[in-house]
C-alpha cells in the first residue's frame, strides 16, 4: 500500500511539472546580440523581436514607414526649435543624457553642412570689410564653372596671390585646368574650414575644463553652435540672391545676422558654462564670444587663402 501511494504521489508530481513546463513561456534570444528576451525589445542592444506580421506589406506601410517618418520629423523639428530659440539648451540636454528626443549633434552638423553646401552652390560669398581687413563670415563655396581669377578674388582679399596667378595664368585657360584648380581648392579648403569645430572644442576645453572636464561636452557645444552658424548664414545667402531688389538693405541683413550669431554665442556660453554667475559671468561670456567670433573669421579666411595658394602651386 505504501509503494502504491508513493507511486501515485510521484506521478502527480510529474504531471504538475509537465504542466508547468508547457505553460512557461519559451525564452527567445535577440537575433542581434543573442541576449535573452523578456519583452518585445532586447535589454542589451534595443533590438525589437521580429513578429510574423512584421514582414507583411501592410505592417510595413501602416506601422514601419509611418512611425519612422513621424519619429524623424518630430526629432528634427524639435531639435531645430531648441537650436534656434534656446541657445545652449540643446547642449545641456545632450550632456544630461536626454538624447532620444533630439537629433545627434554630429548628425545635425552633417545636415547643416549638406544644406549649406547645396544652398551656396552658386559660389556667392559674404564678407565683412573693416577698412583694410576683410573677413569671411562662413566657409566660401567653390563653384566649378567660375573663372580661376574670380575664384581667387573671392578668397584673396589682400592681393597676396596675384603675382603667382599672373605667372600661371597661361596654364589655367583650358576647362580641364580650371576644373583641376577648383577640385584641389575644394579638397583642401572646405574640409579644413570645418575643422574649426574641433578647434573650438579644444579652446573651450582649455578655458572651461574646470566647469566641464569631459571633452565630449565641449565637442557637442561646438557642433551645435556651428550647426546654428551654417543654418543661420543661409539668411545672408538669400539676401545675396535678392540684393538687386533689396539694395542697401542687404548690408542691414548681414549686420543683423552677424549680431544674431554673436548674441547667440554669448548667451549659449553663459547658459552652458556659467549658469550661476550674474553680471561678471555675462561679461565673461560676451568677451569669450568676441574672441571666438573674430578668431573663427580669421581662421576661415586663412584656410581659404591657403587652399587657393595650394591649388595654384599644383596647377
How does pLDDT run across 141-182, given as a tens digit for each residue? Answer: 555 666 777 777 777 777 788 888 888 777 777 778 778 887
Weakly modelled stretches of the chain, pLDDT under 50: 1-3, 7-9, 18, 20-25, 129-133
Query: How many whole angstroms separate alpha carbon 213 and alpha carbon 232?
Result: 30
Query: How many whole angstroms separate alpha carbon 231 and alpha carbon 33?
Result: 39
Q: What is the pTM of this model?
A: 0.69
pLDDT of amino acid 106: 92
pLDDT of amino acid 135: 52
pLDDT of amino acid 88: 94
Query: How many whole angstroms separate alpha carbon 43 and alpha carbon 23?
Result: 24
Query: How many whole angstroms separate alpha carbon 164 and alpha carbon 151?
Result: 14
Residue 169 grid cell: 595664368
Residue 296 grid cell: 573663427
pLDDT, tens digit, 9 for 90 and up, residues 269-298: 999 998 876 788 888 888 988 888 788 778
Amino acid at each position: 500500500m505504501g509503494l502504491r501511494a508513493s507511486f501515485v504521489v510521484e506521478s502527480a508530481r510529474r504531471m504538475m511539472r509537465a504542466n508547468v513546463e508547457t505553460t512557461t513561456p519559451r525564452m527567445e534570444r535577440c537575433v542581434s546580440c543573442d541576449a535573452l528576451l523578456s519583452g518585445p525589445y532586447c535589454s542589451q542592444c534595443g533590438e525589437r523581436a521580429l513578429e510574423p506580421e512584421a514582414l507583411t506589406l501592410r505592417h510595413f506601410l501602416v506601422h514601419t514607414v509611418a512611425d519612422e517618418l513621424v519619429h524623424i520629423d518630430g526629432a528634427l523639428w524639435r531639435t531645430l526649435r531648441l537650436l534656434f530659440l534656446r541657445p545652449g539648451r540643446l547642449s545641456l540636454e545632450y550632456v544630461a543624457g536626454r538624447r532620444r528626443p533630439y537629433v545627434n549633434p554630429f548628425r545635425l552638423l552633417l545636415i547643416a553642412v549638406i544644406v549649406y553646401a547645396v544652398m551656396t552652390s552658386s559660389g556667392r560669398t559674404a564678407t565683412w570689410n573693416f577698412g583694410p581687413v576683410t573677413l569671411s563670415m562662413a566657409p566660401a563655396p567653390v563653384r566649378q564653372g567660375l573663372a580661376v581669377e574670380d575664384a581667387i578674388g573671392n578668397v584673396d582679399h589682400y592681393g597676396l596671390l596675384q603675382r603667382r596667378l599672373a605667372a600661371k595664368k597661361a596654364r589655367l585657360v583650358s576647362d580641364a585646368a580650371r576644373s583641376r584648380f577648383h577640385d584641389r581648392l575644394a579638397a583642401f579648403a572646405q574640409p579644413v574650414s570645418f575643422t574649426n569645430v574641433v578647434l573650438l572644442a579644444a579652446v573651450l576645453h582649455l578655458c572651461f575644463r574646470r566647469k566641464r572636464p569631459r571633452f565630449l561636452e565641449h565637442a557637442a557645444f561646438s557642433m551645435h553652435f556651428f550647426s546654428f552658424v551654417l543654418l543661420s548664414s543661409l539668411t545672408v545667402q538669400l539676401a545675396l540672391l535678392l540684393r538687386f531688389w533689396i539694395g542697401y538693405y542687404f548690408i542691414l541683413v548681414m549686420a543683423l545676422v552677424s549680431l544674431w550669431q554673436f548674441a547667440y554665442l554669448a548667451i549659449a556660453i553663459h547658459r552652458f558654462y556659467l549658469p550661476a554667475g550674474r553680471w561678471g559671468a555675462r561679461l565673461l561670456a560676451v568677451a569669450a564670444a568676441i574672441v571666438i567670433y573674430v578668431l573663427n573669421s580669421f581662421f576661415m579666411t586663412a584656410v581659404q587663402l591657403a587652399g587657393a595658394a595650394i591649388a595654384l602651386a599644383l596647377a
